[in-house]
Structure 1
Amino acid sequence: MWGWIFIFLGFALLFYIYFLKRELRKLKYEVKLLPDRSSFGYRLSLDFRERTLLDLVDELNKMIDAFEEKNRQARQMEETVKLSIAGLSHDLRTPLTSIDGYVQLLLTAKDEGRRKHYLTIIEQSVKRLIEMTDQFYDLARIETNQKEIEFSSILLYNLVEEIFLSYYEQFEEKRIEIRFPEYENNRPILADRLMLIRVIQNIVQNVIRYAKSQAVISYGDEENYLVFSVKNDIKPDSKVVVEKVFMRFYTEYTSRTNTESSGLGLYLTKKLVEKMNGKIDAELDDNWFILKIHLPINRIPI
């Protein structure tokens, strides 16, 4: 009796070992094929329902999922880099071509008035080049997590007024009226001062480029945020698509006819605001374009 039991158990063990080795050989073969098949949603499987092997296969499939996600991110990054290079080459070529053309005119011009006019245009193009390279540099540092944040308590009202007034001549030239709130909002926020300055500068430049005749600044509270709003009237021929204003190289979606803008200003602004634990929204209300920036309030007394 016991002899037959031992013989049966021996055969059962042999069959178990045989099927186990067969599944391991199959698994080894499938693992070899992974580099060619994983990108097509291929997953490992077993016919032999053994708990330890099934757990191993589950872990391997999780590794495949992670590998595919890394590949997807790498492909997305590659496309982003291609788009960035294309956008950068276009945006740098425009002012460089302008500079080259006006330098040639400057060399042949005899009239002093024309020479001054050409020099002014060249100076503006050089400033635009510097602004664009600064934007690309900041964007590269943000997207590679190289831009460090130093939070401090800041009175936003004072900083906004200071930066907007520093562009007084440009607003006068464009005949844009800036309206500040009647009462100061002295609620301090927590933000990185340099990042915040760049955010406000980008918003100012956006107003200068696209406002028709006026811009209105206001403040409000919303839960744990101070809401900084800037609204400007838009020009009659404006074709702004509010759903796309925070997209990288937004002007590409409008045939890139606007040579004053790289399409990175509001995209970079959104990145900077989010880096400071804030959020930014845009909306259209009749003929007004409205930006609302939410920045965390500093609850600790200064």
Structure 2
Amino acid sequence: MWGWIFVFLLFALLFYLYFLKKELRKLKQAVKDLPSRSSFGSRLSLEFRENTLMELVEELNAMVDEFENKSRQAKQMEENVKLSIAGLSHDLRTPLTSINGYVQLLRTTSDESKRENYRNIIQQSVNRLIEMTDQFYDIARMETNQKEMNVSSISISNLVEEVFLSFYEQFEEKHIELNFPEQSQNTQIIADPLLLLRVLQNIVQNILRYAKSKAVVSYETEENFLVLTIKNDIKPDSKVSVEKVFLRFYTEVTSRTNTEASGLGLYLSKKLVEKMQGKMDAELDHQWFILTIHLPLNLIRR
């Protein structure tokens, strides 16, 4: 009897080893074929339910997930690069063409008033080129995690008023009225002063380009965040696609004839705010374009 039991166990062990070896061969081939047939959602599987093998398959599937995640990120970065190159070539070409055209006009006229006008336009185009290259540089550093932060406690209202009033002449020239809260706020937030300065400058530039006649700033607190709301009225014929304003290279003028706007300002601003652990949203309320920025409060000083 013990002999039959021994024979049975031996055959059972042989069958076990046979199926184990068979599954290992299948698993080896599946792993070998992964690079050629892999796609998002690919998984390795076994028919032979053995705990150690199942644990190995789970570990391999975790590696597949990580590989697919990195592949997805690489594809997204590739698409971003293609989009950046296309947008960059178009947006740089516009002011460069303008500069070239007005340089030719400058050479052919002796009218001093016209020459002064052409020089002013050339200078504006040069300034715009500098602004655009700065934005591209910031975006490149942001998306490769090379832009470092130096956070500190900041009085948000002081910085906002300082930035807006530094553009006072431009607001006056475009007849845009500024409205700040009647009571000054001394609310402290945690942010990088230089990054926040860049955010506010981009927002001001956006207001100067698209506002009709008024810009309004307000503050409130919401849990552990200060909520900065900046809104401006928009022109009756304005066609703002609010769900696209944070996309890179989006501009309100779909024909892309607007030589002042590259569509990078709000895209960059949102990225900078998120880097400072905040968030930035946009909405349209009738003829008002509203930006809402959440920034973390300095809770120690509250």
Q: Same fold (TM over 0.5)?
A: yes
Distance, in Å, in 1 between the alignment partners of 2:99 and 2:168 is: 26
Question: Using a 3 Å threshold, how does the CA distance of structure 1 residues 40 and 236 change in structure 2: closer, same or farther?
Answer: closer
Question: Residue 225 of structure 2 contacts residue 295 of structure 2 at CA under 8 Å; is this kept in 1?
Answer: yes
**Equivalent in the alignment of 1:210:** 210
Question: Using a 3 Å threshold, how does the CA distance of structure 1 residues 78 and 121 change in structure 2: closer, same or farther?
Answer: same
Q: Does 1:49 align with 2:26?
A: no
Question: Using a 3 Å threshold, how does the CA distance of structure 1 residues 47 and 300 change in structure 2: closer, same or farther?
Answer: closer
| Counterpart mapping for 1:232-243 below 5 A | 232-243=232-243
**CA apart distance, 1:58:** 2.2
2:48 partner SS: coil
- Number of residues paired by the alignment? 302
Q: What's the TM-score, normalizing by structure 2?
A: 0.95
**Equivalent in the alignment of 1:14:** 14
Question: Using a 3 Å threshold, how does the CA distance of structure 1 residues 275 and 127 change in structure 2: closer, same or farther?
Answer: same
**Equivalent in the alignment of 1:63:** 63
**CA apart distance, 1:162:** 1.3
Question: Using a 3 Å threshold, how does the CA distance of structure 1 residues 231 and 41 change in structure 2: closer, same or farther?
Answer: closer
1:212 partner SS: strand
Distance, in Å, in 1 between the alignment partners of 2:267 and 2:94 is: 20
| Counterpart mapping for 1:1-302 below 5 A | 1-39=1-39, 41-251=41-251, 254-301=254-301
**CA apart distance, 1:129:** 0.5
**CA apart distance, 1:45:** 2.3
Question: Residue 251 of structure 1 contacts residue 257 of structure 1 at CA under 8 Å; is this kept in 2?
Answer: no
Q: Deviations over 1:62-107 (max 9, x none)?
A: 2222212221221111111101110111111100110111111111
Q: Deviations over 1:253-301 (max 9, x none)?
A: 8242322111111111111111111111212122111112121121223
Which 5+ residue runs of structure 1 have no aligned equivalent? Answer: none
1:33 partner SS: helix
Structure 1 stretch 280-289 or stretch 200-209: which is displaced more? 280-289
Distance, in Å, in 1 between the alignment partners of 2:101 and 2:163 is: 33
Structure 1 stretch 52-61 or stretch 149-158: which is displaced more? 52-61
Q: Deviations over 1:154-199 (max 9, x none)?
A: 1111111111111112112211111222110111111100001001
1:63 partner SS: helix
Question: Using a 3 Å threshold, how does the CA distance of structure 1 residues 40 and 145 change in structure 2: closer, same or farther?
Answer: closer
Identity %: 74
Distance, in Å, in 2 between the alignment partners of 1:218 and 1:286 is: 18
Distance, in Å, in 1 between the alignment partners of 2:218 and 2:30 is: 63
Distance, in Å, in 2 between the alignment partners of 1:248 and 1:265 is: 8
Distance, in Å, in 2 between the alignment partners of 1:205 and 1:280 is: 17
1:250 partner SS: coil
Q: What's the TM-score, normalizing by structure 1?
A: 0.95
Partner AA of 1:189 in structure 2: I
CA-based RMSD of the aligned residues comes to 1.6
Partner AA of 2:61 in structure 1: N
Partner AA of 2:256 in structure 1: R
